[in-house]
Amino acid sequence: MKIHNFSAGPCILPQEVFDKMAHAVLNFNNSGSSIVEISHRRADAQEVIDTAISLVRELLNVPDTHEIIFTQGGASLQFVMLPFNLMKLDGGKAAFTETGVWAQKAIKEAKRLGHVEVVASSSDKNFNYIPKDFVVPDDVDYFHCTSNNTIFGTQMKSFPEVNVPMVCDMSSDILSKSIDVSKFDVIYAGAQKNMGPAGSAVTIINKEVLGKTGRDIPSYLNYQTHISKGSAFNTWPVLSIYGVMLNLQWLKNLGGVPAISKINQQKAELMYSEIDRNGMFIGTAEKEDRSEMNATFVLKDENLKPEFDKIWKEAGISSLNGHRDVGGYRASMYNALPLESVQVLVDVMKEFERKFG
Ligand SMILES: *Cc1c(COP(=O)(O)O)cnc(C)c1O
C-alpha cells in the first residue's frame, strides 16, 4: 500500500532521493565502495558537501556577504552555538520572540550566556498565534525569532524591521517559500524537516556579525571554524549530507523555491479549506498565522478518536498524530509531500463526516 507520510520530522523525501541514497550505500558513484565507508576527505566526498553548499546558495539566493556551513547536532546545537558567536561576553543581551517550544529551548540556551529579553510571547494562548506588535530594543546583541512553529502550526508571514542583527530558526520552513536572505544575519535549520535526512543543520551567516563577542569560543562551537574549513573541520556525516544534496538537486530540477512554493500553497489551501468546511474538525491556529507546513487540528468530539484514527490508518496515512505535548492531529506538508497525499487525507476527513457526522 502507498504510504502518505505526514510526519513532522524526519520528513518525507522524494523517492528518487531514497533510490540514489540506497545505491550509494552499496556502490558510491560506481567506485566499488559504500558511501558510508569512504573518507570524508576524499575528492568525491568533498564534492558532495561543496555541491550541497552551492545548491543552498543558489536555491535561496544567498548573497556573497553570507557564508553557508553544515554542522552536526541539528538545530538544537545551533541554539547553543548562536549565543557563543553573537552574545557579548560582558553584559551580553538578546531579544527573543517566544512562539513555541523550540523558541523556548533556544531561549534557555541563550540565557546561559547572557540576558534574554522576551519581547513578545504567545504563551498566553498556548502558542496558537504569532505576536505582531512588539519592539526590539536597539541595545541587544541580536534578535531571534522562529519562522515556523512546527508543534503549534503557526508561521510568521512577515519579519520585523530591526536595527540589530536578525537571527531566525527556519528549521521547518526553509526552502518552502522565497525569502530575502539579506534581511537576516543568521539563519539556521535542522536538516530533517525540509532539507534531507537527520544528521546535520545548515547555518547561513553574515560574516560581518562575527568576531565581536570577546569570548573564547570552543572550536566546534565557533562558526569561524566551520567557515574556514568548508564544513569539514571534523568527520562530517557523508551519507546524510549526500541525502541533502540529492534533495536539493531534486528541488532545483523541479524549478526551485518559487515552484515548490506554489505547490505548498496549493496543499495548504486544500488542507485548511477542508478543516474549515468539515464540521467534525477544528483548526487550532489563528487563521492569519496558519503554517503552510504543519496544519494542526482537533476533533470536535474527542470520543470519536478511535473511529477517525482507524479510517486514516486504513487509507495508508502515517504520522498524523499531533506532538505529544499538544495532542490532536498535525498534517505536516513538507516539500516532498505530494498534493495527492493531501487529497487522500481530505477524502478521509469527508468520509469520516459522512459516517459519523
Ligand atoms: C525540530 C525543530 C528544532 C530541533 O531540531 P533538531 O535538529 O532535532 O535539534 C528546532 N527548531 C524548530 C523550529 C524545529 O522544528
Shared domain check, 118 and 250: yes
Same domain, 274 and 307: yes
Read off the pLDDT of residues 175-206 as tens digits, 9 standing for 90 and up.
999 999 999 999 999 999 999 999 999 999 99
- Is residue 66 included in any domain, yes or no? yes
Quote the cell numbers at residue 3: 504510504
Section 87-99 average pLDDT: 97
Alpha helices in the chain (DSSP H): 15-26, 43-59, 74-86, 101-111, 223-228, 238-254, 256-277, 305-314, 339-356
d(CA 5, CA 332): 8
Task: Output the pLDDT for position 17.
Answer: 98
- Residues of the chain with pLDDT > 90: what percent? 99
Residues 64 and 184 in one domain: yes
CATH number at residue 49: 3.40.640.10
pLDDT tier at 157 (50, 70, 90 boundaries)?
very high
Supply the pLDDT for residue 325.
Answer: 80
Q: Is the pLDDT of residue 49 over 90?
A: yes
Q: Is 25 exposed, middle or buried (0-12, 13-18, 19+ CB in 10 A)?
A: middle
- Asked if residue 102 has its Cβ within 6 Å of ligand 1, the reply is yes
- Span 21-38, pLDDT tens digits: 999 999 999 999 999 999
What's the number of domains the chain is made of? 2
What's the average model confidence in pLDDT over 292-300? 98
Structural domain containing residue 228:
15-254
Which of 11, 80, 102 for mutating ligand 1's site (highest number of atoms within 8 Å of CB)? 102
Residue carrying the nine cell digits 566499488: 32
What tens digit of pLDDT does each residue of 97-151 get?
999 999 999 999 999 999 999 999 999 999 999 999 999 999 999 999 999 999 9
Cα separation, 337 vs 331, whole angstroms: 10
Ligand 1 in reach of 74 Cβ (< 6 A)? yes
The pairs formed by 274-278 with CB atoms below 8 angstroms and a separation of 24 or more are 274/346, 274/349, 274/350, 275/349, 278/349, 278/350, 278/353
3-class SS of residue 153: coil
Bridge partners for 318 per DSSP:
5
Q: Is residue 77 part of a domain?
A: yes
In whole angstroms, give the CA distance from residue 148 to residue 171: 8
Is 193 one of the annotated active-site residues of the chain?
A: yes
Q: Are 250 and 272 found together in one domain?
A: no
What digits encode the pLDDT tens for the residues 73-89?
Answer: 999 999 999 999 999 99
Q: Are residues 243 and 287 in the same domain?
A: no
- Domain boundary among the residues 254, 282, 298 is at 254
Residue 8 domain flag: no
Instruction: Report the atom number in ligand 1 closest to the C-alpha of 74.
Output: 7
Q: How far apart, in Å, are the Cα atoms of 221 and each of 13, 85, 330?
A: 29, 8, 34
| Whether residues 92 and 184 fall in one domain | yes
- Are 307 and 236 in the same domain? no
Distance CA 149, CA 119 (A): 17
Q: CB of 9 closer than 6 A to ligand 1?
A: yes
**53 pLDDT more than 90:** yes
pLDDT given for residue 212 in this prediction: 97
Rounded to whole angstroms, how far apart are CA atoms 194 and 173?
7
Look at strands 294-299 and 329-332 and give their pairing.
Answer: antiparallel
What integer pLDDT is reported at residue 117 of this predicted model? 98
| CATH code of the domain covering residue 323 | 3.90.1150.10
Question: Does residue 326 have a pLDDT over 90?
Answer: no
Domain edge (last residue) among 235, 254, 273: 254
Residue 168 is assigned to a structural domain of this protein: yes
Domain boundary among 232, 254, 276: 254
Q: Which of 338, 308, 350, 348 is CA-nearest to residue 6?
A: 338
- Give the nearest ligand 1 atom to 201 CA: 7
Q: Averaged over 324-329, what is the pLDDT?
A: 89
**Residue-level pLDDT at 338:** 97
289, 173 contact by CB (below 8 A): no
Q: Are 205 and 66 in contact (CB under 8 A)?
A: yes
Q: Which residue has the cell 552499496?
A: 26
44 is known as an active-site residue: no
Mean pLDDT of 241-255: 98
Q: Is residue 311 pLDDT above 90, yes or no?
A: yes
For a pocket test of ligand 1, which of 172, 186, 332 has the largest count of ligand atoms closer than 8 A to its C-beta? 172
Is residue 66 within 8 A of residue 181, CB to CB? The reply is yes
Contacts of 120 (CB under 8 A, 6+ apart): 97, 98, 131, 132, 133, 134
Q: At 312, list the grid cell.
A: 486514516
